A and B are shown apart, each in its own frame.
Chain A
Amino acid sequence: SQTIHQWPATLVQPVGSPLSLECTVEGTSNPNLYWYRQAAGRGLQLLFYSVGIGQISSEVPQNLSASRPQDRQFILSSKKLLLSDSGFYLCAWSAGLSYEQYFGPGTRLTVT
């Protein structure tokens, strides 16, 4: 069966500090991978998605970036965090043509 991991689970970072969140998927090959953010009281916002190694599509221009160095690894980064970057960051995967997305446990980021 497939499993998706995210870490860390929670993170408190000062404004201006860097960020690196990691997501890995087990039990499947060549998944589509997604990063979402859910701010307090708001809906899920798609940030990035990837259909393969090194292939990243950005949905929202901002100070975040994503990379996919390996088939089942997806990384979300920032060089300098803003207060507005606080939120619940979710990684998701989908396989083939099913389009069904499955979410990891998420990382709750608080920028102070």
Chain B
Amino acid sequence: QKEVEQNSGPLSVPEGAIASLNCTYSDRVSQSFFWYRQYSGKSPELIMSIYSNGDKEDGRFTAQLNKASQYVSLLIRDSQPSDSATYLCAPLIGDDKIIFGKGTRLHILP
């Protein structure tokens, strides 16, 4: 089983709607997760970190971690065209390394 799995997309969401991005992981990885946003041709940008079970909200973004189901998600409320990007799920491995999923391409439809 691959350690981090994401649907490659593209996921198309109308402007103003909620975009839901999902990630599943093997039980070997840590219980700390990061979400990165990567615009085409640019480097990844950290947008959310979640270290414990439950929800964490930051502005329009909410990260959800369900350890029992080995599932982490990112919700983007009031989606904007500027949210169109690839979103990378990244769990922490060991004490100092992150592994990255291949990402989900999100397209916000104006």
Contact = CB atoms under 8 A, between A and B. Distances in A.
Report if A and B associate in a common complex: yes
Interface in A79-112: 90, 94, 99-106
Interface stretch (A14-22, A38-46, A61-69): A38-46
A24 interface: no
A99 B92 contact: yes
Contacts, number: 39
Contacts of A102: 46
A49 interface: yes
A46 B43 contact: no
B46 A100 contact: yes
A76 B8 CA distance: 30
A46 B91 CA distance: 13
A46 B94 CA distance: 14
A104 B43 contact: yes
The bracket for how many chain B residues form the interface is 10 to 19
A85 B19 CA distance: 35
Most buried by A among B88, B100, B103: B100
The bracket for how many chain A residues form the interface is 10 to 19
Given A43-B101, A51-B96, A100 B49 contact: yes
Interface in B44-72: 44-46, 49
B24 to A, nearest CB: 15
Contact of A32 (B42, B44, B96): B96
Contact of B34 (A42, A51, A90, A100): A100
28 contacts: A32-B96, A42-B102, A43-B100, A43-B101, A43-B102, A43-B103, A44-B44, A44-B88, A46-B97, A46-B98, A46-B99, A49-B96, A49-B97, A51-B96, A90-B43, A90-B44, A99-B92, A99-B96, A100-B46, A100-B49, A101-B34, A101-B46, A101-B98, A103-B43, A104-B43, A105-B42, A105-B43, A106-B43
Counting from the closest, the 3 A-B pairs by CB-CB distance are A44-B100, A43-B102, A103-B43
Interface of A: 32, 42-44, 46, 49, 51, 90, 94, 99-106
